[in-house]
A = this chain, B = another copy of it.
Amino acid sequence: MTAPGLPMTVPAEGLPARVRIHEVGARDGLQNEKTAVPTEVKAEFVRRLADAGLTTIEATSFVHPKWVPQLADAEQLFPRIADLPVDLPVLVPNERGLDRALALGARRVAVFASATESFAKANLNRTVDEALAMFEPVVSRAKAEGVHVRGYLSMCFGDPWEGPVPVPQVVRVCRALVDMGCDELSLGDTIGVATPGHVTALLTALNAADVPTPALGVHFHDTYGQALANTLAALRHGVTTVDASAGGLGGCPYAKSATGNLATEDLVWMLRGLGIDTGVDLGRLVATSVWMADRLGRPSPSRTVRALSHQEQ
């Protein structure tokens, strides 16, 4: 019995030729580990992800170490990977974080907003508009420095406290982030409740509010197993930036039911099958996630990692 290491490629109509994967495992994944991963392991992880062909690897977060002690080594980590020929965006929650990132030469930063008041309160201890006001000088200073700015938006589909999130409410915050100067948005389904029609409806409403599809990335969670079907709906709408986490690492520490980032390997399997170019070598990526799973002492939740690493045994 031979191991099918790759799917058969059969393109489908109406999909993009190329997708840029925004790899979040090193930041979104590792910030949720109970114990901080050693800096040298993080650096090696990012290096292996780059070797596997990922070109956008979110590296770390310049939040206060008190809130995310797992990423308290951002100053030590970033210089170790800065030589890699890939984009290394970093999270910056405020001007202090931006100062730290810029001092290290970061050329891509991301702010982290919420579509709902409940999550803004839980995650940032602010109202939605207070958080936007906090990000405003961060974005304008970054743009003045010629730095690319991504705006994450959490709870775009449902919220654990508020339930379904109305599309116009999400559009309003997206519009504010774009007006502020964000180059790109990442629409987060933080608790994984979205379904494909909801995805298409939000993207359509954003276009109607003059937020163009090339400025939109999607960030799905597999809490209810919907992430890849939602991604397919987004691709059909023309989205070409998809967030994923190697091995399915991570979730969100402030929302109990938010588990399971879309695994990069499951995404690459589908895109490879569809003939959509990502530049990623699936075998190397799986090997990287298996290596990281060994470091973390538990198996990857990615079905593709499980299937392919099982066959390699």
Contact = CB atoms under 8 A, between A and B. Distances in A.
Interface of A: 1-4, 7-12, 15, 157-158, 160-161, 163-164, 191-198, 200-201, 222-226, 228-229, 231-233, 256-257, 259-260, 263, 266, 269-270, 272-275, 302-304, 307, 310-311
Contact of A307 (B3, B7, B224): B224
**How many copies of this chain are found per oligomer?**
2
Given A4-B163, A10-B195, A257-B310, 9 more contacts: A4-B257, A8-B158, A12-B200, A15-B197, A197-B273, A222-B225, A222-B303, A224-B269, A229-B231
The A interface is mostly helix, strand or loop, or mixed, namely loop
A223 B192 CA distance: 20
A223 B164 contact: no
A157 B8 contact: yes
Contacts of A9: 197
Contacts of A160: 1-4
Contact of A257 (B3, B15, B161, B195): B3
Contact of A2 (B7, B161, B269): B161
Nearest to A256: B1
B273 A195 contact: yes
A195 to B, nearest CB: 2
A45 to B, nearest CB: 22
Contact of A196 (B200, B201, B263, B274): B274
A313 to B, nearest CB: 11
B158 A7 contact: yes
A12 B3 CA distance: 36
A106 B2 CA distance: 39
The 10 nearest A-B residue pairs measured at CB: A195-B273, A12-B197, A8-B164, A225-B266, A225-B303, A10-B198, A10-B197, A228-B229, A1-B160, A224-B304
Contacts of A232: 196, 229, 232-233
A274 B195 contact: yes
B224 A266 contact: yes
Contacts of A195: 7-8, 10, 269-270, 272-274
Contacts of A10: 195, 197-198, 200-201
B194 A12 contact: no
B4 A273 contact: no
A269 to B, nearest CB: 5
Contact of A7 (B12, B194, B222, B259): B194
Contacts of A197: 9-12, 15, 273-275
Nearest to A160: B1
A171 to B, nearest CB: 14
Contacts of A229: 228-229, 231-232, 270
A48 B300 CA distance: 33
Contacts of A275: 197
